A = this chain, B = another copy of it.
Amino acid sequence: MISIHPETTRLGWIGTGVMGRSMCTHLLKAGYSLSVYNRTPEKSDSLVQMGARRCESPLQVAQNSDVVFSMVGYPSDVEEVLLGESGALRGLRSGGILVDMTTSRPALAEAVYDKAKQMGCHALDAPVSGGDIGAKEARLSIMVGGDRDVFDALVPLWKSMGKTYVYQGPAGSGQHTKMVNQILIASSMVGLCEALLYATRSGLDPQTVLESVSSGAAGSWSLSNLTPRILREDYSPGFFVDHFVKDLGIVLDEAARMQLQLPGVELAIDLYRKLQGMGHGSSGTQALWLAVSR
């Protein structure tokens, strides 16, 4: 198995959006050489200024890398940048490693894993939680599926980007774990908005209510971190509504496949779709308040 060291390991990164860019910055600061690709090249400019090499395609990134990370938007993007005509897998050396950090379909993670194996390569699914701030502060939680020895080999890289990194099981398990994370957030957001609606309509002062309820059995990360944003009408994205709807769609597809009923998730996706219909796809998830309160 590969041994990771800044002087000998060449890294690649596909998808330098808000989160990817922060994560790349940590890797560059740790001393790694880094090849980057983004569909909109300007989004890699700051990384190139820090010493990253700009590539013309995912394939070119892979030709210059031992470990290739991807962090893009949708499962269709993952398919294209990893498995497509000019995708990373076609350029990766034998023994090379693909790490997809996009939140995507578990079945796609399994397919990437199988195809990588066929080429003598490795693949991990490693979605994260913690949002833009977690990425910036290297405090992400990284949930990993694939082979344990590959997970173990990459520990120095997980450490550069995250605070919590846990091996969850075979290919797809990282994605499944992220789905669990999103299920928890979905109902938590519905509860938060309904609680806020009840509080305001019954004449309470929401800020004073928070003093009573946030540190006890009703407490949650969402309540403590997103309610203040709602109260100052700040709907800017920590995490995009459009992406959350994508994630909950994957959850419900997987649930249908496993013949599970998840009415809490169904309720949440309905409300979030209503919010998209109100033109808030690019707002942060806390904008759910606007759909619940109108």
Contacts and interface: CB of A to CB of B under 8 A. Distances in A.
Interface of A: 106, 129-131, 134, 141, 143, 164, 166-169, 173, 176-177, 179-188, 190-192, 194-195, 197-199, 201-205, 208-209, 211-213, 215-223, 225, 239, 251, 254-255, 258, 260, 262-265, 267
Contacts of A201: 258, 260
Total copies of the chain: 2
Given A176-B199, A191-B183, A264-B191, A134 B216 contact: yes
B221 A219 contact: yes
Nearest to A106: B202
B164 A218 contact: no
A239 to B, nearest CB: 8
B212 A221 contact: no
B134 A202 contact: no
Contacts of A167: 208
| Residue of A143, A179, A212 contacting most chain B CB atoms (<10 Å) | A212
A215 B141 contact: yes
Given A169-B208, A180-B199, A191-B191, 17 more contacts: A166-B211, A167-B208, A173-B203, A177-B209, A179-B198, A180-B213, A181-B217, A183-B194, A184-B191, A187-B190, A187-B264, A191-B264, A194-B264, A201-B258, A217-B225, A218-B221, A267-B267
A167 B212 CA distance: 9
